[in-house]
Structure 1
Amino acid sequence: MRDSSSTRFIRFHLKTRHLVLLVELGRHASILHAAEAAGLTQPGASKLIGELEHALGVPLFERLPRGVVPTWYGQVLIRRAGAALAEMDAAHQEIMQGQAGFGGRVAIGSVRAAAATLLPQAIRLLKERNPRVQVAVASDTSQAMIEGLRAGELDIVIGRILDPGAAAELEFEPLADEPHSLIVRAGHPWLNRSDLGFEDLAQAPWILPLAGRLRDQLMALFIARGLPQPADVVETISLPLVMRLLADSDRVVALPLELVQSALDAGTLAVLPLDVDLRAGVYGIVTRKRHHLPPSAEAMLAALREAAGLTPPVHT
């Protein structure tokens, strides 16, 4: 049952322009710029923020000389405002789809291994049945994509839930783990070495992912052996850039084999003869609980499950 104070806040204090302003404040961190983006004056935007803070009894933003920074309360409200507006946008899309016949758009985020294997199969299935559905695919870290899902910017994510605080809001259908191997260019001088060890890897030039679970695991392998962490590092998750860097140097990168299988088959890349037992963790299909997807996203979700051999979860 909804708390009566929440009901009063929603019915008597909250207006659409509050939601729009909150989303723009999350994007711009400036009352002036957020007001312009929301079609408001700066005094009008300040008044709306004051109304929300008075109704909730908590500070939503910290005022600084060069802008505003959301407090924890402000961050919660910004994220929920984005999700609320996304719901109304989904309602509009669903109505338009109902009028014009099945079509619409679905936004999906995916980790790289699934984007190279599962996702193309699912898109093919979707397009065979619903060619008018537009598919927008984003690739980022799981954390960033989950935040996009929670804010309503994405309909579906194939990734990992790394924040326990977000788990209660999300449905997770596990798909697979993601073991990584050490990948180098064909002809790399270490490929024929039988005595390759972590001492060599510590001195190697590396391509590393951004901060996160996989990088932490990799660095822990050096720390556990009393070795320095690699100093010559390029940070990126861009696969085209990774491929170019590998081709032009003796750099080492940890990747799932599925991601570079075509290059391995073609003989342009190779796997170093050292088992590092790196696993990024189980990824899966992530959606928001108690959120009704529009038909286009439901069709994408069904195609993903079919391509992965999953059956829909049963809710009791």
Structure 2
Amino acid sequence: MNTFQADRFVRAHLKMRHMVLLVELGRNGSIAQAAQASNLTQPGASKLIGELEHLLGIQLFERQARGVTPTWYGQVLIRRAGIALAEMTAAHQEISELISGLRGKVDIGSVLTPATGLLPKAIKLLKSRYARVHVSVDLNTSKSMVERLRNGQLDLVVGRILDAESAAVLDFEPITDEDHRLIVRAGHPLAERADLGLAELAEQSWIVPPSGSILRDRLTALFLSEGLEPPMETVETLSPPLVASLLMTTDMVVALPEALIQSYIDVGLLVAVPIDLRLRMDVYGIITRKGHQLSPVASAMLTALREVAVEYYPSRARRRSVPPAP
């Protein structure tokens, strides 16, 4: 489909109800449920799908006994429709903000370390300037949050770009990297051990992030590089309060940046074991969609993040860049 044909398809044939139905089909996988969520009859929804497939000359969904599954073409259209609807929602919010003064909502995703220092200070700065702004924060892995950012579900992410496809469509402003230490409770049998090796650590009970996270992959690679099986006794969590509670009440160990649990270290509840794990994470930074105009609220949040980042890490250059493809 050339540019003229694509433009004609969008302007002459594609309607808002098509996009709403596509998004609901992506969520539900059922024509009946998607039709109900889109305020359509089931025959009406089937007709709209048929129209799109006829216009494009491709199959968008595979019909199955228990619903429909999008083809590759269908997945592309669902993702783009979701972005388009998110943009219209943002437009409505932006108009409301301009009418009534700066207010509204900004959705941010963050990995754990900046969520303990950088992000709270930036939110505090933003709220001191615009008290009526609502901030929603999602703590998760970079991979999950970047996907939500690309789909228009988040305005900003403080995290990492992990693949070349995302790097091509996102802007990245580097902040800093993370040196991970082995953390245990005060009085732990390993607390003062400067001679610890990986073989002994492999026998310990570990608190680890979920599978698919960078840290989990690098922990696994660390043990495998020495011909060792990764630890078998593990608890998976991204919750800092749960991590701290497990550390203080058990003999479990965890690899974390000290900044993440500094308050517990300061009062003597947790300690960093005096060994070098050789575990350093890639630089995290502020991620936005390339060429996307942020809403006034999201733009104000970005400004606050940049200002606090300069205060926190004055030695690091703060410029927009795209990391090299992995």
TM-score (norm 1): 0.94
Give the aligned partner of residue 80 of structure 2.
80
Give the aligned partner of residue 90 of structure 1.
90
Give the aligned partner of residue 165 of structure 2.
165
Give CA deviations for 1:185-206 in whole Å, capped at 9, x if unaligned. 1111111223211111111111
Give CA deviations for 1:70-111 in whole Å, capped at 9, x if unaligned. 222222222211111111111111111111112111111111
2:305 matches 1:304: yes
2:181 matches 1:181: yes
Q: d(CA) in 2 for partners of 1:173 and 1:27?
A: 32
Give the aligned partner of residue 241 of structure 1.
242
Distance 1:57 1:272, change over 3 A: farther
* 2:106/2:297 contact within 8 Å kept: yes
Give the aligned partner of residue 231 of structure 1.
232
Aligned length: 313
Give CA deviations for 1:147-175 in whole Å, capped at 9, x if unaligned. 11111111111111112112221111111
Give CA deviations for 1:187-243 in whole Å, capped at 9, x if unaligned. 111112232111111111111111222211111111111112211111111222212
Q: d(CA) in 2 for partners of 1:305 and 1:189?
A: 42
2:229 matches 1:193: no
2:128 matches 1:128: yes
Distance 1:58 1:167, change over 3 A: farther
Give the aligned partner of residue 38 of structure 2.
38
Distance 1:123 1:47, change over 3 A: same
SS in 2 for 1:203: coil
2:87 matches 1:51: no
Give the aligned partner of residue 266 of structure 1.
267
1:194-213 to structure 2, matched below 5 A, reads: 194-211=194-211, 212-213=213-214
Give the aligned partner of residue 252 of structure 1.
253
Question: Which ranges in structure 2 are unaligned for 5 or more consecutive residues?
Answer: 311-316, 322-326
Q: Aligned-residue CA RMSD in angstroms?
A: 1.6
Q: d(CA) in 1 for partners of 2:125 and 2:185?
A: 34
Opposite residue 137 of structure 1, the aligned amino acid is V
TM-score (norm 2): 0.91
Instruction: Could you list the structure 1 runs, at least 4 aligned residues long, displaced by more than 4 angstroms after superposition.
Output: 310-314
* 2:31/2:67 contact within 8 Å kept: yes
Deviates more, 1:126-135 or 1:21-30: 21-30
* 2:173/2:318 contact within 8 Å kept: no
Give the aligned partner of residue 220 of structure 1.
221
Give the aligned partner of residue 6 of structure 2.
6
Opposite residue 203 of structure 2, the aligned amino acid is Q
Once the two structures are aligned, what percentage of the paired residues are identical? 59
* 1:305/1:312 contact within 8 Å kept: no
Q: d(CA) in 2 for partners of 1:35 and 1:62?
A: 17
Opposite residue 290 of structure 1, the aligned amino acid is G
Opposite residue 249 of structure 1, the aligned amino acid is T
* 2:172/2:320 contact within 8 Å kept: no
Deviates more, 1:272-281 or 1:172-181: 272-281
* 2:210/2:238 contact within 8 Å kept: yes
SS in 1 for 2:182: strand
- How far does residue 312 in structure 1 lie from its aligned partner after superposition? 6.4
Give the aligned partner of residue 290 of structure 1.
291
